[in-house]
Amino acid sequence: MRVEIWSDIACPWCYVGKARFEKALAAFPHRDQVEVVHRSFELDPDRAKGDAQPVITMLTRKYGMSEAQAEAGEDNLGAQAAAEGLPYRTRGRDHGNTFDLHRLLHLAREQGRHDELLAILYRANFAEERSVFTEGDERLVELAAEAGLDAGRVRAVLADPDAYADDVRADEREAARLGATGVPFFVLDRTYGLSGAQSPEVFTRALHQAWGERAPLEPAGGEDAGACGPDGCALPPHS
């Protein structure tokens, strides 16, 4: 069975949702027969490369939040991440264009290092003081090398804006075709779709449903869950 996950490195619910899904998958009896494929989705594709700003500032300007509301939202997300054992800096992070990150993730997939780079980029964006947006290409080269990629090849990809661009755009077109308006978005065997950072229990039910059934893509009975989209990163109603 194949599970495809559309996500963005700038999306905190993708970070949390990945951990929750992996918890469910680890307990799934057929886990060794499940292929997980991560696909690209940009939450802020129109933001220029190099145009980075503090997350709190971005939230207040783009979504009309007060500073107190933005900080409360980040505190809530920090608590959600901590519940999954994930480090999360609720203050001092920044936000920027993620297109180059997605291009490098496609390079990493080609070289069999995608999972390693994805985990490193999430950690770097949500848990580390150094930015993935403001320190230039060498910061990305350093992170990619940590994932096992050749630094020279990474530099060549970053220097060529067309490298793997079509792969990123193809993922995004497919997300639109499947009806994804926000992320994380999970598609199980092209049979069931789940939106948001669902609980491990919901992911477990969806895995069992999809394992034995083949039907047109339909909702898998998930609950309202945290997700990020054009209008921001919403909290689930019960949070």
Q: Are 90 and 74 in contact (CB under 8 A)?
A: yes
Considering only CA atoms, give the Rg of the chain: 17
- The distance in angstroms from the start CA to the end CA of the chain is 32
Which residue shows structure tokens 């229990």?
A: 201
Q: Are 95 and 7 in contact (CB under 8 A)?
A: no
Contacts 24+ apart (CB under 8 A), 229-233: 229/43, 229/181, 229/182, 229/183, 230/43, 230/181, 230/182, 231/63, 232/59, 232/62, 232/63, 233/11, 233/12, 233/13, 233/73, 233/77
pLDDT tens per residue, range 96-138:
999 999 999 999 999 999 999 999 999 999 999 999 999 999 9
pLDDT tens per residue, range 57-86:
999 998 899 999 999 999 999 999 999 999
pLDDT tens per residue, range 14-43:
999 999 999 999 999 999 999 999 999 999
The residues, any chain, with a CB within 8 Å of residue 80's CB and separated by 6 or more, are: 16, 197, 226, 239
Which residue shows structure tokens 């990629």?
A: 149
pTM: 0.89
CB atoms closer than 10 angstroms to residue 76: 17
What confidence score (pLDDT) does residue 216 get? 47
pLDDT tens per residue, range 127-185:
999 999 999 999 999 999 999 999 999 999 999 999 999 999 999 999 999 999 899 99
The tokens for 43 are 């939450």
